A and B are shown apart, each in its own frame.
Chain A
Amino acid sequence: MAVKNIMIVGVGGQGTLLTSRILGGLTIAGGYDVKLSEVHGMAQRGGSVVTFVRYGDKVAEPIVEEGQADVIIAFERLEALRYAHFLKKDGVLIVNDWRIDPMPVVIGNAEYPEHILENLEKEYKVYRVDATEESRKLGNPKVFNLIVLGVAAQHMDFTKEQWYEVIEKTVPPKTIEINKKAFDVGYGMK
């Protein structure tokens, strides 16, 4: 299989590392060669973070380059905007419809762009997910990223059972059920 390029983008602290662990486990279960690249350290303190996941028959570099992403999973709107140009022509962008103001916006030195999703939809195939609101309904706003993953799963090469298996192995034991429920919510969305 030709190499597939996935990106997870968000704000440090939103759980991009957990998500990348899940994708890593998944690609191994699928029997692929795989490389992932993550951000640790200072950027994890509320900065813009990106994780690259590449899998296929043989993977060389661990990063996804501009114009090459098949799927971008964005946990926040502004981060979707920042990385959208990494998408290839027929790539898909899955966005949690959520806003976190960066510090330059909080202190009035910059404006949070208006109509991000509407503008991105003009250029890219965009799936909006109201994951933060949906996860509140489940009683735990922290599991929003599994809802977004559930939507993304529909654009990747793994069975639902494979996803379940890796979720069970990766998330803290106490949270397996709620995380699987959250995944189901996303998996059921069109």
Chain B
Amino acid sequence: MGKKVIMLGNEAIARGAYEAGVKVSSAYPGTPSTEISEYLVQYKDDVYEEWAPNEKVAAEVAVGASIAGVRAMACMKHVGLNVASDPLYSVSYMGVNGGLVLVVADDPGLYSSQNEQDTRMVARAAQIPVIEPSDSAEAKDFFKTAFELSEKFDRPFIFRTTTRLAHSQGLVELQEREEPEDKPYEKNIQKNVMMPGNAKIRHIEIEKRNLELAEAANTLPINRVEMNDTKIGVITSGIPYQYVKEAMPEASVLKLGMVNPLPRKLIEDFASKVDTLYIVEELDPVIEEQVKSWGIKAIGKEILTVQGEYSANMLRKAILKQDLDIKKPAEAPGRPPILCPGCPHRSVFYVLNRLKMHAAGDIGCYTLGAVAPLSVIDTTMCMGSSISTLHGMEKAKGKDYIKNWVAVIGDSTFLHTGVNSLMNMVYNHATGTVIILDNSTTAMTGHQDHAATGKTLQGDPAYAISIPGICRAMGVKNVHEINAFDLPLLEKTIREETAKDEVSVIITKTPCVLLDKRKKPLYAAHADKCKKCGMCMKPGCPAMTKNADGTIHIDDTMCTGCGLCKDLCKFDAIELVKEGE
């Protein structure tokens, strides 16, 4: 027996990668997948890993390592797989040399995402096998299984998690690292060069491999029947398995560890032994539709939702028809996420709001600039889209139409996929203004480095790619770097640049407030000088509240001393009371 420790699902995957003998990992941060790469750093003597600028690059790096003959992986969130879907569909034809696994984290309930898509659907379309664990222990052990199957069946695998799995902790038993021998590289253009003649043959080949895998799935230990009372039978996988065990421990369960391809014989056999068959899966009816297409009677999305997370109580109500005595939640005002006190984005959004500008937004903390009181962002869709969306508006309505518009995008997001969009603007005679909110990190996912921070994933020094340099090299003539808290200069520059009939890039370069660990300055408000004008409240700083008499209070546990409120106060009612470091 190995040592038992408590691990986050993502930590267990990192451990599984280490134990499986993985040698190369590449990733782009995305909640809820980010921590896998961060936990993997502790094994850096054995596993090379890196932050890639986006998921397509990460997946291709992993494919290259697999072709070279080692076990390789890439990590991303569900929408990251969309970016990586170009290599995904073709590596499916190529297969692997060293085992290849993409970890893809779905987000039922949308804790930190722009949509609720189901990776299993993408995997089916790309004919990629999918393994799904139900807790931290399985996250580690199944991850090793994924590599074994990947090599045995010459298929790249997707390892699917969800937020609840990724961010739950449970007990894991540690084992030693396996050291599988590197596979020899043999030049094989029929397998590795996807031109039409080769791909046609590979398509036939992978159809065959998938059938073999589907057959093998009937006896794989990770697909497990737990026969119990036969009145209710449930087919389930992943975290919903835990809800089933919690709500109906007496039911019979077919627990699928591999959700694509499905073990048809095992399912038919299980279905024949139970009175009523239920299929419990979060998001889309992926298992359900296949099972029903085989003429098996089952109940699924008729009584269970395609949205959000499930729970044991949900199953008690829907399947067991139990009348639960549950109190109603109290009426309470919501507490949506907000920009932190001292966030440099707040200052930029305040100026845009004052200038009555609209912004095409992007993915990052700054998406929060869409909500009151800043209310600047009009659109947010996917990584890198702000710049191209603005360009599309200009081409639809002409250059004057976007004089009161800008695109806003973060530094990491710009490097991810914004670069291509800016290239398009320069090439196609655009006149729009792009603001790059450069806070020197990938903030929303918990402060990961990227190609422009000067540090690798391991924290070692690296060449820092210059964002203004990229913009100039692409032919943008108007490139400005400004401190995000320099309100007058910011306002003047935005006015001037949006008025021009040329592409402009304004880079607001101020590090994320959470990155700077030094003691911060502190401001306090003086009630006797306060005229209750409300100017200082306009940027919506969470450290500021109104007293009963309408004067202002600054919470000393929250204030980080950015000074934005002080700059806005015309009556000197806000004063520095403590110097920072």
* Contact among B168, B327, B332 with A78 in the assembled complex (CB-CB below 8 Å): B332
CB closest chain-A residue, reference B545 = A101
Verify if B196 is at the interface (C-beta below 8 Å from A). Answer: no
Is B334 in contact with A104, judged by CB distance below 8 angstroms?
yes
- Whether B54 sits at the interface, judged by CB under 8 Å, is no
Minimal beta-carbon separation of B338 from chain A (angstroms): 4
Q: A45-B338, A45-B339, A61-B312 are in contact. Are A37 and B168 (CB under 8 A)?
A: yes
Min Cβ gap B148→A in Å is 27
B373 interface hit (Cβ, 8 Å): yes
Q: How far is the CA of A111 from the CA of B371 in the complex (A)?
A: 18
Q: Mark A123-149, 1 if CB is under 8 A from B, else 0.
A: 000000000100000000110000000
- How far does the Cβ of A88 sit from chain B's closest Cβ, in whole Å? 10
Of B112, B335, B555, the residue contacting A41 (CB under 8 A) is: B112
Contacts of B175 in A (CB 8 A): none
Q: Are A40 and B243 interface neighbours, CB within 8 A? A: no
Stretch of B120-128, B259-267, B536-544 at the chain-chain interface:
B536-544
Residues of B within 8 A of A78 (CB): 332-333, 335
0/1 string, B171-182, CB within 8 A of A gives 1? 100000000000
Q: Are B337 and A81 in contact (CB under 8 A)?
A: no
Of A63-71, A154-162, A173-181, A182-190, which binds chain B? A63-71
Give the distance in Å from the alpha carbon of A38 to the alpha carbon of B170 in the complex. Answer: 12
Residue A42 interfacial (CB < 8 Å): yes
Contact B31 A11 (CB under 8 A): no
A113 lies within 8 A of B545 (CB): no
Smallest Cβ-Cβ distance to B168: which chain A residue: A62
A67 touching B111, Cβ below 8 Å: no
Pick from A42, A107, A142: contact of B444, CB under 8 Å? A42
Question: Once the chains bind, are A106 and B335 in contact (CB under 8 Å)?
Answer: no
Query: A111 contacts which of B167, B333, B446 (Cβ < 8 Å)?
Result: B333
Point out the residues of chain B lying under 8 angstroms from A85, CB to CB: 326-330
Q: Are A102 and B336 in contact (CB under 8 A)?
A: yes
Closest residue of A by beta carbon distance from B34: A40
Residue A56 is within 8 A (CB to CB) of chain B in the complex: no
Interface status of B80 (Cβ within 8 A of chain A)? no
Q: Report which of A41, A59, A103, A132 forms a contact with B31, defined as CB distance below 8 A.
A: A41
Decide: A84 and B337 in contact? CB cutoff 8 A.
Answer: no
In whole Å, how far is A10's beta carbon from the nearest beta carbon of chain B?
10
Residue of A nearest to B371 (CB): A103
Taking CB atoms, residues of chain A closer than 8 Å to B243 are: 60-61
Q: Within the assembled complex, what's the spacing in Å between the Cα atoms of A45 and B514?
A: 11
Known: A41-B111, A112-B333. A103 touches B542 (CB 8 A): yes
Q: In the complex the two chains form, what is the Cα distance from A47 to B245 in whole Å?
A: 31
Contact A35 B169 (CB under 8 A): yes
A113 and B5 within 8 A (CB) = no
**Cα–Cα, bound, A82→B332 (Å):** 6
Contact B444 A103 (CB under 8 A): no
Whether the pair B168, A67 counts as a contact (CB closer than 8 A) is no
Query: If the complex has contacts A61-B243, A101-B545, A141-B557, are A41 and B445 also in contact, measured as CB distance less than 8 A?
Result: yes
Q: Is B311 an interface residue (CB 8 A)?
A: yes
Closest chain B residue, CB of each to CB of A31:
B4
Judge whether B446 and A40 touch: CB under 8 Å: yes
0/1 interface trace, chain B 230-248, chain A, CB 8 Å (1 if under)? 0000000001001101100
CB pair A106–B112 under 8 Å, yes or no, is: no
B544 touches A106 (CB 8 A): yes
Using Cβ atoms and an 8 Å threshold, which residues of chain A touch B339?
45-46
* A 43-95 contacts with B by CB, 8 A: 43-48, 59-63, 65-67, 78-79, 81-82, 84-85
The residue that B246 contacts in the complex, of A39, A60, A107, A109, with Cβ under 8 A, is A60
Q: Is the Cβ of B335 less than 8 Å from the Cβ of A11?
A: yes
How far apart are the CA atoms of A116 and B23 in the complex, in Å?
55
On chain A, the residues within 8 Å of B135 by CB distance are 35, 62
Q: Report B-chain residues with C-beta under 8 Å of the C-beta of A47.
A: 335-338
- Measured CA separation A24–B169 after assembly (Å): 8
CA distance A112 to B332 in the complex (A): 8
Interface assignment of B194: CB less than 8 Å from any CB of chain A: no
Q: How far is the CB of A135 from chain B (nearest CB, A)?
A: 9
Q: Does A110 contact B (CB under 8 A)?
A: yes
A38 engages B167 (CB within 8 Å): yes
Instruction: Pick the most buried of A35, A45, A65, A104: most chain B CB atoms within 10 A of its CB.
Output: A45
B-chain residues with CB within 8 Å of residue A113 when the two chains form the complex: 331-333
Is A28 part of the binding interface, using a Cβ–Cβ cutoff of 8 Å? yes
Shortest beta-carbon distance from A170 to chain B in Å? 12
Is A34 in contact with chain B by the CB < 8 A criterion?
yes
Separation of A11 and B339 alpha carbons in the complex (Å): 13
Q: Which residues of B contact A20 (CB under 8 A)?
A: 169
Alpha-carbon separation in the docked complex, A37 to B168 (Å): 4
Neighbour of A106 across the interface among B34, B167, B332, B537, CB < 8 A:
B537
In the bound complex, how far is the Cα of B452 from the Cα of A90, in angstroms? Answer: 54
Q: Is A12 an interface residue (CB 8 A)?
A: yes
B residues near A102, Cβ cutoff 8 Å: 333-336
B32 within 8 A of A: yes
Report if B6 contacts A (CB, 8 A): yes
In this assembly, does B164 line the interface, its C-beta being within 8 Å of a C-beta of chain A? yes
A42-B31 in contact (CB<8A): yes
Residues of B within 8 A of A112 (CB): 333
Measured CA separation A40–B327 after assembly (Å)? 27
Q: Which of B446, B542, B556 contacts A46 (CB 8 A)?
A: B542
Whole-angstrom distance between the alpha carbons of A179 and B540 in the complex? 32
Candidates B111, B170, B340, B544; contact of A35 at CB < 8 Å: B170
Can you list 28 residue pairs at the A/B interface with Cβ under 8 Å? Answer: A13-B340, A24-B169, A36-B168, A38-B8, A38-B167, A40-B167, A40-B446, A43-B111, A44-B446, A45-B337, A45-B365, A46-B338, A46-B340, A46-B542, A47-B335, A60-B312, A61-B242, A61-B243, A63-B311, A67-B325, A102-B334, A102-B335, A103-B335, A103-B372, A105-B333, A111-B333, A113-B331, A141-B557
Closest 4 CB pairs of A and B: A41-B112, A41-B31, A47-B337, A110-B333
Binding site for B on A (CB under 8 A): 11-13, 20, 24-25, 27-28, 33-48, 59-63, 65-67, 78-79, 81-82, 84-85, 100-107, 109-113, 132, 141-142
